Structure 1
Amino acid sequence: MFHRSILPQQIAASRRDFLRGAIGAISASTVRSGFAAPLSGIVQPTQKTIVVTFGGGARDEETFAEEGQENIPNLLHTLLPQGTFFTQVRNGGILGHYVATASIVTGVYERFNNFIAQPPPNPTLFEYYRRALKRPVTDTWVIAPSNGFQKIGGSSNARFGPQYGAGVILPKRLLSTAMQKTSTGADLQHLLQDNYEMPEYQVLSTSQDRELHLEALESTLRLSVADFVKHAQTLDSADELSLFITRRLMDQQAPSLMMLTLHDMDVAHSGAYSLYIDAIRRADRLCAELWQAVQSHPEYRDRTTVYIMPDFGRDADDDPSGNGFQHHRTGSDMARTTWLLAMGPHVRQNVVVERPIESIDLVPTVGCRLGFSTDTPGRCIEELR
């Protein structure tokens, strides 16, 4: 078990050792290798990128440690051998879900109020991408279960802004709107839980807002209200609904840049350990299903890079100022040190990298790979260039 006094590099070394025992194929020389040589060749505009974040993350005790590996069989045995795994990703910003995710997509540690729906002040990955490569609005999408993420598609930056932003689809909002238009008696209220840190987060529900979301449901996803609710009735979670929306977008529009936020494991804030474990296992399965969908889709196969990364971690059990798995209040190394898995045609397989990187490095890394510049303090991850 990790103690809060353990340094990030010790956490990284422990993850390496756990992985060596779990998948067996990683050699010591590979684990300790430095930069992977960049692959030559010009990246074509048809390259696609999918970013997956975990809302709140999960501790090593429930994932990469020996006692937790049973919860992530797909990550360990199917996905990690196909990609490059970074054991030490540092989040130096605010440990709140919206602001931390905004930091990931801007490449800047944002400092705004985590509980107010506002656009990030700094340009997002989506804006850099669309403006530099002249991509249409239908080419970038964010699928975010929490309604608090409604403004994450575009920044308030005067040089960029919503005109270059991504479309944001809030599956919970779509479900809520659809339920109001049908006579279904299904009990789907558990899918409408918005934010376990602040469950009373205000959800916009004006008639104009409902109509906009119905229009998105029917025009963008090409789903009727009845179809959507029928599918929703078979789901166990909001994350399941989000993956359904993601796959629908892949089929209907084949966007080149998407971000999917999995948020179920944030149920940890309620103190229900069993539900937290269930959510980890579900996220593990959904990541594998997403990768399988990418590999089997003619528009995505062999041209898509997938990045999977928690927004941050959680507190240690023995930290007197925290609440263990339930919260992420202390700002300790356990809460700040996460990981990154990258998979794709240009990414080296079965490689583990221990050197420290930061969560804000993702935006410049995608820019380096796709051929556009970003004005951020983050750095391009050389192993993924």
Structure 2
Amino acid sequence: MNRREFIKKGSLTALGVAGLPYILPSGRLFAATGARKVNHVVFCLFAGGVRNWESVQKAEGNLMPNILSGSEAISSDLVGSMSNLPSSPLSSSMQSMGTLFREFRFSSGPTGHYNGHTTALTGQHTSTALNLRAAPDMPTIFELYRKHNSPSTSATNAWWVSHSNNLYPLLNYSTHPNYGPAYGANQIAPTQLFQGSSLDALGPEFSIDPDIQSELERLTHFSNSQFDIPFSAAAGLENTVEGREQIQAFLSQMVQAAQSGQHINPWSVPSGMNGDMLNVFYAEEILKEFKPELLVVNMFGVDVAHTNFTGYCDNLRRADWAVAHLWNTIQNTPGMANDTLLIVAPEIGRNANPNTIVDVNGRAALDHTTDDAVSREIFCLMLGPAGIVQANQSIQTVTGESIDIVPTIADALGFGSEVSGILPGRVLQEAYV
């Protein structure tokens, strides 16, 4: 039986076998000793490599009006190529609500997307020896959180929402001997899971069989089996039926909604929703269903910059709007409103000098290479409850770097002292009141 036939018979075309999420253990962990600043953290790895010139420096006008304050007009040659977006979901810019580090840095390691993601999620510098087919050797923020957080925390409280299943699920957990898969997050690539290309290939005649729930359960159990480790080997962790059943029901609901067309454009964006918007939409659905204490979501739409500068600018605007929608959802979700820290940062920047590819507006495209200082320049935005995060603060000097995000998350969730000995970065105290 070939893969196409299997998917038809299994009624999982919208999912795709490669898109199955990890369903992880939950149960008793180690107690944290520090006081929490908030009970939820959402970290958004923003857009897939953004040059500061087009973002915080506004070289082409304010392409990010939802995140950044200011009404600088977009360069006239780009205006006609920009997508039609709804009005802002927010009453003011996110910069006015939080602290913007205008000159953040990815200070060490190759300026590749995977290197940048690895640094952001482990709090460790990467090197040229990074294995793109293996998990990192140092623990991720998911492992640190799940091992050192409070005793009652379930695995449904930790989610890694990646834009694809290419390399990024590897960042769920490390090969570190003291951590590993027992301490990972629930990982999902929703645009492949629910919007997969295999569905398009089958065409409109395809429909889901009534037994989709049982098939989902069978394949989810297969995915979950790698985490069925002995009690003694899991530091007291054990799987719970409740967590699996909740995730199972959520997946089934998302599949049915996607198949019925409800997820084609749920935000009613006039120009339609791109992959970044859809990834954030599904992250929001997870937030509303599970109210996790830790969720990381990434975006990748602006990576068209390698061949299309105008498309890069347009997708930067769309990513900006999506992040504003994410913050608005957080603030309107009971249990997360006024109790969530949102961190937004690109993983890497882009080169000062363009390559030789020119788009329809005569604009040259942009790559990202290790020997270019501008490709290490990024920004970081932090928002949180009043009285916790300083509002309307813009830090102009070179302050902070990507290895500081993990210790900042650990500090916010109250287990910073437990992990400070293995993290080279520091807490971004400048953002706090």
TM tier relative to shorter chain: 0.7 to 0.9
User: Which is richer in helix?
Assistant: 1
TM-score, length basis structure 1:
0.75
User: Whole-Å Cα distance in 2 between the matches of residues 169 and 115 of structure 1?
Assistant: 22
Residues 351-373 of structure 1: per-residue CA shift (max 9 Å, x gap): 12224221101111111222213
Matched, 1:154 2:173: yes
Q: How does 1:99-110 map to 2 (within 5 A)?
A: 99-110=115-126
**1:370 maps onto 2:370 in alignment:** no
2:12 maps to what in 1? none
Match of 2:310 among 254, 274, 281: 274
Q: CA deviation at 1:61?
A: 3.4
Contact 1:145 1:171 in 2 (8 A): yes
1:225 deviates by: 2.8
Are positions 1:179 and 2:219 aligned together?
A: no
Do structure 1's residue 340 and structure 2's residue 380 form an aligned pair? yes
- Residue 400 of structure 2 corresponds to 357
Describe the superposition over 1:88-114 as per-residue Cα deviations: whole angstroms up to 9, x where unpaired.
Answer: 211122211122111111110123666
1:70 aligns with 2:62: yes
Partner of 1:253: 290
Which AA in structure 2 matches 1:255?
P
CA change 1:183–1:56 in 2 (3 A) is closer
The whole-number CA distance in structure 1 between the counterparts of 2:354 and 2:132 is 32
How far apart, in 2, do the equivalents of 1:150 and 1:312 lie? 19
Task: Indicate the RMSD between aligned Cα atoms, in angstroms.
Answer: 3.0
CA distance, structure 1, for counterparts of residue 384 and residue 46 of structure 2: 19
Match of 1:87 in 2: 102
- Relative to structure 2, which stretch is displaced further, 67-76 or 271-280? 67-76
Structure 1 segments of 4 or more deviating over 4 A? 112-115, 180-183, 207-213, 215-218
Whose radius of gyration is greater, 1 or 2? 2
1:150 maps to a residue whose letter is P
- Distance change in 2, residues 1:145/1:114 (3 Å): farther
**Deviation for aligned residue 1:66:** 4.2
User: What's 2:233 paired with?
Assistant: none
Asked if the contact 2:101–2:381 (Cα under 8 Å) also holds between the matched residues in 1, the reply is yes
Q: CA deviation at 1:166?
A: 0.9
Q: Given that residues 313 and 334 in structure 1 are in contact (C-alpha distance below 8 angstroms), is that contact kept between their aligned partners in structure 2?
A: yes
Gaps of 5+ in 2: 1-33, 70-92, 207-217, 225-244, 266-271, 357-362
Structure 1 contact 90–357 (Cα < 8 Å) conserved: yes
1:228 and 2:271 aligned: no
CA-CA distance at 1:325 after TM superposition: 4.4
Deviation at 1:220, TM superposition (A): 3.8
User: How far has the Cα of 1:258 moved from its partner?
Assistant: 0.3
Aligned equivalent of 2:40, options 33, 44, 48: 48
Structure 1 residue runs of 5 or longer lacking an equivalent are 1-40, 187-206
Determine if contact 1:107/1:360 at 8 Å carries over to the other structure. yes
Whether 1:263 and 2:300 are equivalent positions in the alignment is yes
Closer, same or farther: CA 164–177 of 1 in aligned 2, 3 Å: farther
TM-score (norm 2): 0.67
Instruction: Summarize the Cα distance change of 1:347–1:93 in structure 2 as closer, same or farther, 3 Å threshold.
Output: same
CA–CA distance in structure 2, aligned partners of residues 131 and 124 of structure 1: 11
